[in-house]
């Protein structure tokens, strides 16, 4: 039977740092160690596991396949230790801890700054970390334990996640300013589909909603570009490569400053549902509970103030 020595926290920190900076020399500087000490820690890990964790290339130290496997788990282990330290040693009466929250790309401009400001003002002991992505990526990060909570869309409860509906919003046709689209004049999907389209990549949740709308309208789409970035979608539309379809919250500022024109979709009217997802497993730390409540509060505040175009609260 193979006996493995216990993995040392210092060794895991050395592994993660070398992978992030790509150099033992730079890792030693970051960790405030001498270079031979970092080299010994990596070699000790490799000897204990019986595999090479890095290969040296002209571009620097690159993790091997085995190194990538250990790296993923080492990052999570170190993160959990950091979280535990923050929760165990709070200031008297304070809520402390590390909370990582996921925001949809389309909602980040509206929600990120108010959320960060509210947490910093009311709970300065919380170390808040904000990640943005499309819903599919955020859901995967939640399932993997890399997020504590996240906004998602068009999702019901799953075996791994609890879901709280927050808001329903319409999807909008988005075009260059010269198209003259108006918020008060909805655009039939058939008219949108008559233009070249810049679309989210196939398999993305928003693309699935758009494809379903095209099917209901009985029309084919001329997709000329696919991308996984809302920023790129809007950039390509501004440059005249075609029209696109996005949620109203993602283009409100662009319409206000005149860089895009937009109108709600109709025939069919297409909605997406924004939900707040949290893992089912594990104890919810007080800091996470605080951020869950504050994020929901910020969403409802944006709705009340009319900052979320063509949106309404979800029914309880």
Whole-angstrom distance, CA of residue 70 vs CA of residue 302: 42
Q: What percent of the chain has pLDDT over 90?
A: 52
Q: Are 138 and 150 in contact (CB under 8 A)?
A: yes
130's tokens:
């904000």
Instruction: Answer whether residue 49 shows pLDDT above 70.
Output: yes
Judge residue 38's burial from the number of C-beta atoms within 10 Å of its C-beta, 0-12 exposed, 13-18 middle, 19 or more buried. Answer: buried
Where helices occur in the chain by DSSP H, the ranges are: 9-21, 24-31, 35-49, 65-88, 105-122, 135-144, 189-193, 205-217, 230-238, 252-256, 286-304
Q: 295-309 b/e with 16+ CB inside 10 Å = b?
A: bbebbeebbeeeebb
Over residues 72-100, the mean pLDDT reads: 76
The overall longest dimension of the chain from CA atoms, in Å, is 73
Whole-angstrom distance, CA of residue 51 vs CA of residue 42: 11
Tally of CA atoms within 13 A in the half-sphere of 206 that contains its CB: 29
164's tokens:
């709280």
Over residues 24-53, the mean pLDDT reads: 87
pLDDT at residue 87, rounded to an integer: 63
Q: Are 264 and 172 in contact (CB under 8 A)?
A: yes
Q: Find, among 194, 212, 207, 191, the residue nearest to 246 by Cα.
A: 207
DSSP-assigned beta bridge partners for residue 275: 152, 165
Q: Find, among 149, 3, 143, 14, the residue nearest to 74 by Cα.
A: 14
Instruction: Answer whether residue 85 shows pLDDT above 80.
Output: no
Confidence tier at 1 by pLDDT (50, 70, 90): very low
Q: Find, among 169, 147, 165, 145, the residue nearest to 155 by Cα.
A: 165
Over residues 248-260, the mean pLDDT reads: 93
Model confidence over 197-207: pLDDT tens digits?
Answer: 999 988 778 89
pLDDT at residue 93, rounded to an integer: 62
DSSP-assigned beta bridge partners for residue 278: 162
Q: What percent of the chain has pLDDT over 70?
A: 94
Whole-number CA gyration radius for the chain: 24
**Strands 271-279 and 149-153, bridge-based pairing:** antiparallel
Q: Are 225 and 248 in contact (CB under 8 A)?
A: no
Most confident of 47-51, 106-110, 153-157, 172-176: 172-176
Stated pTM of the model: 0.71
Model confidence over 144-192: pLDDT tens digits?
Answer: 888 999 999 888 778 888 999 999 999 999 999 999 999 999 999 999 9
């Amino acid at each position: 039977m193979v006996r493995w020595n216990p993995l040392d926290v210092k060794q895991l920190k050395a592994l993660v740092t070398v992978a992030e900076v790509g150099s033992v020399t730079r890792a030693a500087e970051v960790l405030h160690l001498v270079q031979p000490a970092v080299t010994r820690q990596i070699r000790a890990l490799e000897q204990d596991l019986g595999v090479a964790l890095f290969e040296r290339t002209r571009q620097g130290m690159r993790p091997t396949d085995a190194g990538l496997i250990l790296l993923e788990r080492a990052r999570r282990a170190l993160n959990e230790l950091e979280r535990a330290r923050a929760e165990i040693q709070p200031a008297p009466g304070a809520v402390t801890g590390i909370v990582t929250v996921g925001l949809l790309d389309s909602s980040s401009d509206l929600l990120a700054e108010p959320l960060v400001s509210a947490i910093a003002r009311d709970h300065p002991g919380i170390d808040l970390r904000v990640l943005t992505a499309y819903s599919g990526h955020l859901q995967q990060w939640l399932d993997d334990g890399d997020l504590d909570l996240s906004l998602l869309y068009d999702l019901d409860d799953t075996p791994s996640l609890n879901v709280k509906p927050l808001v329903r919003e319409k999807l909008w046709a988005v075009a260059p300013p010269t198209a003259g689209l108006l918020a008060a004049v909805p655009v039939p999907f058939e008219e949108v589909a008559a233009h070249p389209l810049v679309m989210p990549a196939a398999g993305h949740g928003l693309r699935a909603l758009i494809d379903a709308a095209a099917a209901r309208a009985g029309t084919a789409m001329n997709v000329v570009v696919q991308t996984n970035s809302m920023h790129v979608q809007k950039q390509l539309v501004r440059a005249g490569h075609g029209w696109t379809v996005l949620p109203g919250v993602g283009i409100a500022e662009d319409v206000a400053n005149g860089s895009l024109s937009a109108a709600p979709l109709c025939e069919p009217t297409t909605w997406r549902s924004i939900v707040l997802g949290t893992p089912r497993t594990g104890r919810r730390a007080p800091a996470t509970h605080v951020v869950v409540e504050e994020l929901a509060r910020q969403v409802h505040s944006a709705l009340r103030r009319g900052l979320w175009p063509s949106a309404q609260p979800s029914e309880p």
